[in-house]
A and B are shown apart, each in its own frame.
Chain A
């Protein structure tokens, strides 16, 4: 019985991690598209950190780093770091 519960918990953890990874990857693509759309170079986002709501720091594969956030007027701003 305890082993069955252990398996269920393990499966839940794996599924949770997988869905987090998918969300992270799609977030990376979203950030990359946003950076490029705003005229900055970024081939692929390899790391991103959430600073606050709608505020991220993204590191691109080519070494460029950006802060991507939504300003109070509702505009997406991409700042090169």
Chain B
């Protein structure tokens, strides 16, 4: 459904600048005073701020997240084991998906993945907010690994 995550931030910066330019032009049209000469210079300055926004994607350390989940006291032993069961079930569905004999379509896998993430986040949000936010920010990166057959094989 949403495979291209890293490409998303860069385009978003450009539309906002184009919106700004679009909103600026009507104002200039309504106001008769001389405003046309400075319009040429702003478009050259706009691409520069878009590049610093690009290196935002968080680095994903799956092993660290897994260890933090194991160590956290926000979730009890039974709950952790139950979550592990559900993670294992979902991973076996991904395995079947990559093997080609998939009963579950990608859209359904995404739904199940989202649901599981929400469960984890709801369990952690009060007891371990830093871990909850770390998992939330890694959500798309983890999905990227799950959907990439080569990366998935290395899990």
Interface, chain A (partner B; CB < 8 A): 26-27, 29-31, 33-34, 37-38, 54, 68, 70, 74-76
Report the separation of the CA atoms of residues A34 and B86 in the bound assembly, to the nearest whole angstrom.
12
Sorted nearest first, the 4 A-B pairs with minimum C-beta distance are A30-B76, A76-B82, A34-B78, A33-B79
Q: Which of B76, B85, B123 has a CB less than 8 Å from the CB of A26? A: B76
Q: What mask results when residues 71 to 93 of chain B are scored 1 for a CB within 8 Å of chain A, else 0? A: 00001111101110110000000
Taking the complex as formed, is B119 at the interface, i.e. its CB lies under 8 A from any CB of chain A? Answer: yes
- The total of interchain contacts (Cβ-Cβ below 8 angstroms) comes to 37
Report the separation of the CA atoms of residues A54 and B82 in the bound assembly, to the nearest whole angstrom.
12
Interface, chain B (partner A; CB < 8 A): 75-79, 81-83, 85-86, 119, 123
Q: Which B residues lie within 8 Å of A54 (CB)?
A: 78
Contact of B123 with A33 in the complex, beta carbons under 8 Å: yes
Report the separation of the CA atoms of residues A33 and B151 in the bound assembly, to the nearest whole angstrom.
32
B82 to chain A, nearest CB (A): 4
Contact of B81 with A33 in the complex, beta carbons under 8 Å: no
Q: Which of B78, B85, B86, B119 has a CB less than 8 Å from the CB of A30? A: B78
Report the separation of the CA atoms of residues A38 and B79 in the bound assembly, to the nearest whole angstrom.
10
Report the separation of the CA atoms of residues A76 and B81 in the bound assembly, to the nearest whole angstrom.
7
